[in-house]
C-alpha cells in the first residue's frame, strides 16, 4: 500500500508575516550553489512548493523556507525561500523567522551565524533578547522618478530599487495606508505592477507604498504588495533595504542613522546602512515568534495532497 509523504515543519511569524521552515521531508536538491539548486527546485520539485505553502494547508501569505546544506564557506545553514507563486532570492522576515525557529529547536545560540541564500550569504546576529539583526545583500536604486500612467488615476512617479528582491517604491499617491483598506491597496498595487512591467521592467515584482506613521518613533508606514497578490504583514526586510537605498541616494539618511519602518499591521523593523562603493549594505532588526511545530501529511489518495492546482 502506498504510504503518505511526511514533511516536518516549524511555523513562526515575523511582525505578523508567516514563515514555514521545512526541516525534513523536502526535495533533495543535491550540492552546489543555492542559486543553482533553486533552479532544480523550480524545474523538478515545484509541486512540493505548492504542497507546503499553498491551499489547503497554507495560504497566500505563507512564505516557505527550505533548510538545506550551505554551499558558501563560513555559512552554518542554507535556506531557499518560496511562496504561493514561486521563489524569492532573499526574504528578510523569513531570515528572522528561520533564525528564531532554529534557536527554538536548540540548533543555534545567541551570537553571530551565517545563512547561505540564492542571492548570497547573509550575516545574522541573534541577540540574547531574542531580537535578530541581519546584514542584507548590497542594495541600490536603479531608477529614480520613473513616470507611470495609470488609467483613471493619471501619472504616478516611482523609484525602482533592489534590496534582495526588486521593488517599485511610491511616496506620492492618493491611497490610505490602513489595514481596513487592504483590498483597495491590493488593486492599486496590482495595476502599478502591470504598468511597471509594461514600461520594460517585468523583473520588478514587489510594489511598496509609503506614508506617514502615527507610531511613536517610527519614520514611515508602508504597504508591501508581493508576487502573487499577497501583502506583507511585516515591514518587509528586502523592501526596507530598497527604501534605505533610495534614502541614501537622495541624501536623506546618513550611514549609521536609524530608520524605523512600520508595516500595514503596525509591526516595526529598525534599519540602518553602511556604504559599499555605490551601493549600501543594510542592517535590518526585528523579532519573530514560533507558532507551531507540525508534520504535514500528504496522503497518496488525496486529490489535493500536493495543493490546489
Ligand atoms: O521580508 O523581505 C521580506 C519579504 C519579502 C516578501 C515577503 N517578505
For the annotated catalytic residues, the residue numbers are: 91, 236
pLDDT of residue 2: 87
pLDDT of residue 19: 98
Closest ligand 1 atom to Cα of 239: 2
Closest ligand 1 atom to Cα of 63: 7
Distance 107 CA to ligand 1 centre (A): 23
pLDDT of residue 145: 97
Report the residue among 90, 93, 205, 235 best suited for mutation to probe ligand 1: largest number of ligand atoms under 8 A from its CB.
93
Closest ligand 1 atom to Cα of 96: 1
Q: What cell numbers appear for 79 in the block?
A: 535556506
Distance CA 254, CA 238 (A): 19
pLDDT of residue 260: 98
Q: What cell numbers appear for 3 in the block?
A: 504510504
Q: In this structure, what DSSP letter does residue 305 have?
A: T
pLDDT of residue 3: 95
pLDDT of residue 20: 98
pLDDT of residue 30: 94
pLDDT of residue 35: 96
pLDDT of residue 228: 86
Distance CA 275, CA 36 (A): 29
pLDDT of residue 152: 83
Q: In this structure, what DSSP letter does residue 92 have?
A: H
Distance 161 CA to ligand 1 centre (A): 14
**238 near 90, Cβ under 8 Å?**
yes
pLDDT of residue 156: 96
Report the residue among 165, 227, 265, 288 best suited for mutation to probe ligand 1: largest number of ligand atoms under 8 A from its CB.
165
Report the residue among 161, 189, 226, 284 best suited for mutation to probe ligand 1: largest number of ligand atoms under 8 A from its CB.
226
Residue nearest to atom 5 of ligand 1 (CA): 91
Question: Cα Rg for the chain, rounded, in angstroms?
Answer: 19
Q: What cell numbers appear for 195 in the block?
A: 504598468
Distance 3 CA to ligand 1 centre (A): 35
Distance CA 271, CA 95 (A): 15
One digit per residue, the tens of pLDDT, for the chain of length 309 reads 789 999 999 999 999 999 999 999 999 999 999 999 999 999 999 999 999 999 999 999 999 999 999 999 999 999 999 999 999 989 999 999 999 999 999 999 999 999 999 999 999 999 999 999 999 999 999 999 999 999 888 999 999 999 999 999 999 999 999 999 999 999 999 999 999 999 999 999 999 999 999 999 999 999 999 998 899 999 999 999 999 999 999 999 999 999 999 999 999 999 999 999 999 999 999 999 999 999 999 999 999 999 987
CB environment 79-95: b (16+ within 10 A), e (fewer): bbbbbbbebbbbbbbbb
Q: Which residues line ligand 1 (CB under 6 A)?
A: 17, 63, 88, 91-93, 165, 226, 232, 234, 236-238
**E strand or H helix at 79, and its extent?**
strand 77-82
pLDDT of residue 309: 72
Distance 302 CA to ligand 1 centre (A): 31
**159 near 144, Cβ under 8 Å?**
yes
The distance of Cα 107 from the centroid of its chain, to the nearest Å, equals 23
Distance 2 CA to ligand 1 centre (A): 37
Amino acid at each position: 500500500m502506498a504510504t503518505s509523504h511526511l514533511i516536518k515543519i516549524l511555523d513562526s511569524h515575523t511582525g505578523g508575516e508567516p514563515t514555514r521552515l521545512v526541516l525534513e521531508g523536502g526535495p533533495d536538491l543535491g550540492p552546489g550553489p543555492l542559486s543553482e539548486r533553486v533552479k532544480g527546485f523550480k524545474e523538478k520539485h515545484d509541486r512540493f512548493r505548492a504542497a507546503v505553502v499553498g491551499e489547503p494547508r497554507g495560504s497566500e501569505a505563507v512564505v516557505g523556507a527550505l533548510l538545506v546544506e550551505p554551499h558558501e564557506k563560513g555559512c552554518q545553514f542554507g535556506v531557499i525561500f518560496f511562496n504561493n507563486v514561486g521563489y524569492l532570492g532573499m526574504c528578510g522576515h523569513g531570515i528572522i523567522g528561520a533564525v528564531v525557529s532554529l534557536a527554538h529547536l536548540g540548533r543555534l545560540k545567541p551570537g553571530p551565524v551565517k545563512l547561505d541564500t540564492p542571492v548570497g550569504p547573509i550575516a545574522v546576529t541573534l541577540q540574547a533578547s531574542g531580537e535578530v539583526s541581519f546584514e542584507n545583500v548590497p542594495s541600490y536604486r536603479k531608477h529614480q522618478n520613473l513616470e507611470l500612467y495609470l488609467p483613471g488615476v493619471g501619472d504616478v512617479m516611482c523609484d525602482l530599487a533592489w534590496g534582495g528582491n526588486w521593488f517599485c517604491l511610491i511616496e506620492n499617491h492618493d491611497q490610505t495606508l490602513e489595514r481596513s483598506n487592504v483590498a483597495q491597496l491590493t488593486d492599486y498595487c496590482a495595476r502599478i505592477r502591470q504598468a511597471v512591467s509594461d514600461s520594460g521592467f517585468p523583473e520588478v515584482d514587489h510594489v511598496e507604498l509609503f506614508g506617514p506613521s502615527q507610531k511613536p518613533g517610527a519614520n514611515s508606514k508602508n504597504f508591501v504588495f508581493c508576487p502573487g497578490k499577497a501583502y506583507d504583514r511585516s515591514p518587509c526586510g528586502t523592501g526596507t533595504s530598497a527604501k534605505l537605498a533610495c534614502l541614501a541616494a537622495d541624501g536623506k539618511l546618513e550611514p549609521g542613522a536609524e530608520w524605523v519602518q512600520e508595516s500595514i499591521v503596525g509591526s516595526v523593523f529598525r534599519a540602518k546602512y553602511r556604504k559599499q562603493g555605490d551601493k549600501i549594505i543594510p542592517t535590518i532588526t526585528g523579532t519573530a515568534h514560533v507558532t507551531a511545530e507540525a508534520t504535514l501529511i500528504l496522503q497518496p489518495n488525496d486529490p489535493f495532497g500536493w495543493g490546489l492546482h
